[in-house]
């Protein structure tokens, strides 16, 4: 009798291999998740605030940031905060550590239009713009938080600082002297940066965005400008008329002088010619008096008669002797 055959199903060795691969894959994914949660990157156009359990422990800024250290001392809670002046790849503890990034690019603020008065109480409607940079992201986050709130705070700071300086200059300087206006705005910029450093920003530039006249002043200003232009035009016409008269007088004088010189030269030439002619006549008379007398007779006839003239001459007239064979 043959031995009994065992027909119990055997576990596949391939199933064991697949299970181990799945487990290894899950572990690898978990490791990747943990690693991705443990690293972060700060780009060159970003700054960041690093928190541990909600408390700010570190700020990340650029190498050329020279304001963060001073701003770090303005609030007690930031005196022990670490300032990192490099960007790139960083590590953190997942869940415990959080990173909040903001831009380090220049941000533009444009003020509302406000009325201003120059030194002589001339009124304008003016708006300004400024460009600022977030230099301490921790202070910025606590004091401002958003760009819209930053603009609202700048509205309260920029206008008084700039306007009190414009109140000291005359309207002509304000409108036409760019160098004086630039110096005025630069003084305001220095004062503004003393005020805004507690907000974690630095204002890089401030300029006049637009200047308008109030409607009530437009007509009077237009009339004044028109009167000024008319006065300038009248002065130019007067100077032109004066120059014209001087030029005409000079030309007339030169013309009279040229005519006088021409007459004098002509008289001189005529006198010399007459003298030379007389000399020629005299020389000719002395050479052949009879021929000279003949020519004088012909000239007398030529000047005294024409083709319609009839002359009755006595046969004894001396002129006839030149036409006689005798």
pLDDT along the chain (326 residues), means of 10: 49 57 76 76 93 92 90 88 92 89 92 86 87 94 88 88 88 86 91 92 91 72 81 91 90 91 90 84 73 73 71 68 60
CATH no. of 107-218: 3.30.479.30
CA dist., res. 91 & res. 35, Å (int):
9
What pLDDT sits at residue 322?
62
The widest CA-to-CA distance across the chain, in whole angstroms, is 210
pTM of the entire predicted model: 0.57
Alpha helices in 104-214 (DSSP H): 137-143, 147-166, 171-176, 178-196
Write b or e for each residue in 131-166: b if 16 or more Cβ atoms lie within 10 A of its Cβ, otherwise e: ebbbbbbbbbbbbbeeeeebbebbeebbbebbbebb
The DSSP secondary-structure symbol of 313 reads -
SS3 content of the chain, % helix, strand, coil (to 5): 55, 20, 25
Rounded to a whole number of angstroms, the CA Rg of the chain reads 56
What pLDDT sits at residue 7?
47
Q: Could you tell me where in the chain the CATH 3.30.479.30 domains are found? A: 107-218
Phi/psi of residue 3, nearest 5 degrees: -70, 150
């Amino acid at each position: 009798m043959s031995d009994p055959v065992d027909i119990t199903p055997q576990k596949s060795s391939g199933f064991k291999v697949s299970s181990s691969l799945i487990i290894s894959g899950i572990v690898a994914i978990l490791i990747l998740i943990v690693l991705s949660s443990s690293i972060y990157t700060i780009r060159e156009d970003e700054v960041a605030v690093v928190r541990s359990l909600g408390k700010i422990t570190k700020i990340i800024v650029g190498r050329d940031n020279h304001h963060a250290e001073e701003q770090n001392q303005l609030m007690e809670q930031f005196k022990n905060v670490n300032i990192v002046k490099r960007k790139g790849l960083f590590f953190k503890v997942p869940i415990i550590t959080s990173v909040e990034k903001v831009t380090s690019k220049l941000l533009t603020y444009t003020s509302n239009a406000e009325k201003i008065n120059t030194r002589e109480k001339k009124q304008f409607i003016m708006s300004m713009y400024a460009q600022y940079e977030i230099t301490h992201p921790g202070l910025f986050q606590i004091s401002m938080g958003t760009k819209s709130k930053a603009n609202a705070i700048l509205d309260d700071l920029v206008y008084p600082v700039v306007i009190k300086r414009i109140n000291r200059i005359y309207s002509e300087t304000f409108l036409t002297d760019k160098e004086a206006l630039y110096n005025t705005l630069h003084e305001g910029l220095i004062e503004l940066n003393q005020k805004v450093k507690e907000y974690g920003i630095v204002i890089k530039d401030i300029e006049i965005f637009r200047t308008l006249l109030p409607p009530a002043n437009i007509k009077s200003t237009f009339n004044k400008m028109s009167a000024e232009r008319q006065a300038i035009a009248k002065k130019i016409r007067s100077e032109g008329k004066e120059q014209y008269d001087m030029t005409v007088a000079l030309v007339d004088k030169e013309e009279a002088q040229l005519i006088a010189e021409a007459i004098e030269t002509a008289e001189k030439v005529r006198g010399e010619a007459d003298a030379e002619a007389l000399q020629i006549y005299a020389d000719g008379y002395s050479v052949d008096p009879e021929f000279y007398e003949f020519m004088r007779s012909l000239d007398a006839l030529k000047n005294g008669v024409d083709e319609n003239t009839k002359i009755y001459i006595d046969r004894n007239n001396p002129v006839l002797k030149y036409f006689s064979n005798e």
